Structure formats: structure tokens, C-alpha cells
């Protein structure tokens, strides 16, 4: 295949360099703006890249696995340029919807902060590979370090690899989600196959001997030495197996502070897509809260935590699928503050109902700038004004960025 000379124009949304060629844009893995390269081009992607002129923004990656492991895409980008690139993702998403508002500087994410990591694993003969998938591939890159993850997860890698070997009952790839909690590591395995009775006893002994808090396999609790517990402010919450949790505590705290400050003084607050209580339990220190969530296990954890912490104001937990049955204006109008934090798909139907409500202050939390911008445009059309948007880096060196938007009706 013929090699082409290319100049990288800008950084794409997923972290690839983008060169403008005769045949259209060419995506260059790990390329940076201003670099000149030679590469083979196939279906709009550069292969076998040779850098001729490196960018001054190029820095030494923090991890020896960078470029092989698909977990990080921009470790090689200088820090300030990286922060501007992430903030710009939010700016561009808002601009595409015609939303003009203040976008704050990116709230940075420190290394070694990720408290939940999902490894890929697969039996290969008498051994088991444990690591992360290579970029755009099912090939597992075995990792010996991870500068993104919490130290207690990295330090446990040898034991986790041994556990994966013990639990693998299939030659197919499977996943191991590991969460660092206040009571130890919570390990949730999916797709490893059915455990035999003898295998189960060995696995239980291993988990107890290593001091892990819990092991689940395909949602079945194999052993639970201690309830895996996290703190939302001061409130302890026993999280369900595989339940949603913000990936880093600093990002969670930054988001919660923004929401709490914006809704300060509200007496009755709705928390929609409430999960296990990230916002609800903090807000309940000063206000009555109705927490609405579609996942029963998460809601049960929230409810139990609220009941066990008498210093809180009343917290009502309601199980409801907000994608298909959003709260209506007559239900919303009893609240004077609201926060919603939906999955990546956003909250289009619920936003349409909020736009018709009389709630004075709304905080919108999102992990997807595109769907956030869509939902904000609905609220703006309904009479809300966006006071500011704060981008938050929770997934370090990845293309993902969180954002909190603060809105007020009639301003």
C-alpha cells in the first residue's frame, strides 16, 4: 500500500489527530495538531504511522502501556492543551444548539483517582490474561500498572489475575469490574461461566484470605465478607453489586458542591435518576428530597442509607422509569429545586416536562455534552436561562467529559 505524507490539522473528538487529505479527513491514532507524518491510509484511518515532525505539545506518556492499551487516548498531549481540548468539547456541543453561556475552565482530574476499573480477562491455556482491550480491538493487553486507577486496585493486580484464573470457566473473554470502597475491593465478574461447587469453595477461600469485601458473578453474590460501602458526604451507603458510582471521588465532590450551592435554600428538592443517592443524600442535610430512580437495587441502597442516618431531612424513594414515564408538571410543581443526572442518552422526555413546570432552579448533570446541549435547549425554550456550565474531567486521558449546567427560570 502506498504511503502518504500528511499534516495533522486538529484533534478529533475521540483523541485522534485529523489530517485533511484529498479523499477527505484521515484519522491518525495518537497524532497531534501540527505534526507531519507518513502513513498508509485505509478507509480514512492512518496505519503504520511515522512521525516526521513532532508537535511541541507532545509529552512523554505517564504509562508504559500507552499506545497498546486502549484505555487512554491522549496521555501524550501537554496538560494545558489537554484541558482546553476537553473544555472545547462542551463549548462546541452548546454552540451546535445555539446556546450562549459561560463555560467555566475544566475541573481537572488527578492521576490515581479512578475508584472503579473494568478489566477484560480471558483464559489462554493454563494462564488467564487480565488487562484492557487494545484500541478498536478485542485483543487483551496485559497491564502491570495503571496511573489512572486508585493505588489499592493497582497493588491488587497479581491477586486479581490469580482470582480471574480461578473463576474462568469458559474460554471466552469476560469482564471483572473492581471498585475501591471504604471496606475493601468490591469485585463483580460477568461472563466467566458457571462455577462448579469445588471451584466455588476455592474462590470463596481465596477472596476471604485476600481481604476483598465482596465477589459477585453475573449478579450472584459468591461471598460477601463486608458490605462494600462508600460515603456520600458523611452518609455511608452499601452499594449494590455492579451499581452505578461516579468514577472518581474528587469529580463526584465537585459536581455535588455545584448542585448543593445552586439549590441552597430550596426546601423540597427532586433528584431524578438518583442512583444510590450521590446528590439526594447530600441535599437531604438541608431539604426534603424525593429521589426517583429506575434501578431497584440502587434505590434500595439509597433508601436504607437515608433511614439509617437520622440527621437527614425526610427522603422519599420512588422507583420509576423516567425514560418512559417522566414526572409531569403537576408532580414537579411541588418542588422548588431539581437535579437530574441521566445516563448518556440524556433526559429528553423528562426535560420537556421540566420545561413546562414552575420549578425555579434546576441543576443538570451529564456525561454526554451532546445530549446535555439538547436537553438544555428544551429547558431554554421553556423559559429557563443557563447561568453557567462547568466541565469536569472524571475519566483522565480519555475523550469523555462530564458537565454540570445550572439553570434558573425567568432570568
Q: If you ran DSSP here, which 8-state letter would residue 239 be given?
A: P
Residue 201, Ramachandran bin (φ over 0: left; ψ between -120 and 50: alpha; else beta): alpha
User: How do strand 214-217 and strand 184-190 relate by DSSP bridges?
Assistant: parallel
Q: In what order do the strands lie in the sheet with 184-190?
A: 140-142, 127-133, 116-124, 174-181, 184-190, 214-217, 220-224
246 is in an annotated binding site: yes
341 is in an annotated binding site: yes
261 Cβ contact partners less than 8 Å away, ≥ 6 residues apart: none
The answer to whether residues 268 and 288 touch, using CB atoms and an 8 Å cutoff, is yes
350 is in an annotated binding site: no
Spacing of C-alpha 403 from chain mean position: 11
User: How do strand 3-11 and strand 17-21 relate by DSSP bridges?
Assistant: antiparallel
Catalytic status, residue 367: yes
Q: Look up cell 488487562; give the residue.
A: 131
Question: Rounded to an integer, what distance in angstroms lies between the CA atom of residue 144 and that of residue 137?
Answer: 19
Q: Which of 69, 72, 146, 367 is catalytic?
A: 367
N residues, the chain: 411
Q: In what order do the strands lie in the sheet with 337-340?
A: 102-103, 384-392, 402-409, 361-366, 337-340, 268-272, 288-293, 315-319
Please enumerate, by residue number, every residue annotated as part of a binding site. Answer: 246, 273, 293, 341
Q: Which residues belong to the active site?
A: 367
Please enumerate, by residue number, every residue annotated as part of a binding site for S-adenosyl-L-methionine. Answer: 246, 273, 293, 341
Amino acid at each position: 500500500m502506498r504511503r502518504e505524507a500528511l499534516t495533522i490539522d486538529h484533534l478529533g473528538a475521540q483523541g485522534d489527530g485529523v489530517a485533511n487529505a484529498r479523499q477527505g479527513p484521515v484519522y491518525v491514532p495518537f497524532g497531534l495538531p501540527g505534526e507531519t507524518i507518513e502513513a498508509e491510509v485505509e478507509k480514512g484511518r492512518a496505519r503504520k504511522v511515522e512521525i516526521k515532525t513532532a508537535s511541541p505539545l507532545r509529552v512523554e506518556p505517564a504509562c508504559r502501556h500507552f499506545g497498546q492499551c486502549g484505555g487512554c487516548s491522549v496521555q501524550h498531549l501537554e496538560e494545558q492543551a489537554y484541558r482546553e481540548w476537553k473544555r472545547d468539547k462542551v463549548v462546541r456541543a452548546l454552540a451546535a444548539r445555539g446556546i450562549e453561556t459561560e463555560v467555566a475552565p475544566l475541573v481537572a482530574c488527578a492521576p490515581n483517582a479512578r475508584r472503579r476499573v473494568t478489566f477484560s480477562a480471558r483464559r489462554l491455556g493454563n494462564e488467564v490474561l487480565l488487562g484492557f482491550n487494545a484500541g478498536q480491538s478485542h485483543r487483551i493487553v496485559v497491564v502491570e500498572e495503571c496511573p489512572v486507577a486508585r493505588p489499592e486496585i493497582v497493588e491488587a493486580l497479581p491477586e486479581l489475575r490469580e482470582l480471574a484464573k480461578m473463576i474462568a470457566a469458559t474460554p471466552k473473554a469476560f469482564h471483572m469490574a473492581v471498585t475501591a470502597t471504604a471496606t475493601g475491593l468490591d469485585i463483580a465478574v460477568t461472563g466467566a461461566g458457571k462455577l462448579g461447587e469445588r471451584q466455588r469453595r476455592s474462590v470463596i477461600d481465596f477472596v476471604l484470605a485476600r481481604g476483598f469485601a465482596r465477589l459477585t458473578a453475573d449478579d450472584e453474590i459468591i461471598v460477601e465478607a463486608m458490605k462494600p460501602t462508600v460515603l456520600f458526604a458523611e452518609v455511608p451507603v452499601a452499594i449494590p453489586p455492579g451499581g452505578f458510582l461516579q468514577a472518581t471521588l474528587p469529580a463526584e465532590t465537585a459536581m455535588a458542591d455545584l448542585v448543593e450551592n445552586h439549590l441552597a435554600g430550596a426546601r423540597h428538592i427532586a433528584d431524578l435518576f438518583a442512583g444510590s443517592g450521590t446528590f439526594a443524600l447530600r441535599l437531604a442535610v438541608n431539604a426534603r428530597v424525593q429521589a426517583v430512580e429506575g434501578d431497584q437495587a440502587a434505590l434500595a441502597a439509597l433508601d436504607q442509607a437515608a433511614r439509617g442516618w437520622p440527621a437527614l431531612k425526610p427522603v422519599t424513594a420512588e422507583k420509576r422509569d423516567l425514560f418512559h414515564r417522566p414526572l409531569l408538571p403537576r408532580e414537579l410543581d411541588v418542588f422548588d429545586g431539581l437535579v437530574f443526572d441521566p445516563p448518556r442518552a440524556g433526559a429528553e422526555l423528562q426535560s420537556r416536562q421540566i420545561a413546562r413546570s414552575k420549578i425555579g432552579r434546576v441543576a443538570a448533570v451529564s456525561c454526554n455534552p451532546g445530549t446535555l446541549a439538547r436537553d438544555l435547549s428544551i429547558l431554554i425554550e421553556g423559559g429557563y436561562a443557563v447561568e453557567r456550565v462547568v466541565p469536569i474531567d472524571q475519566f483522565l486521558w480519555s475523550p469523555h467529559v462530564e458537565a454540570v449546567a445550572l439553570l434558573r427560570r425567568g432570568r
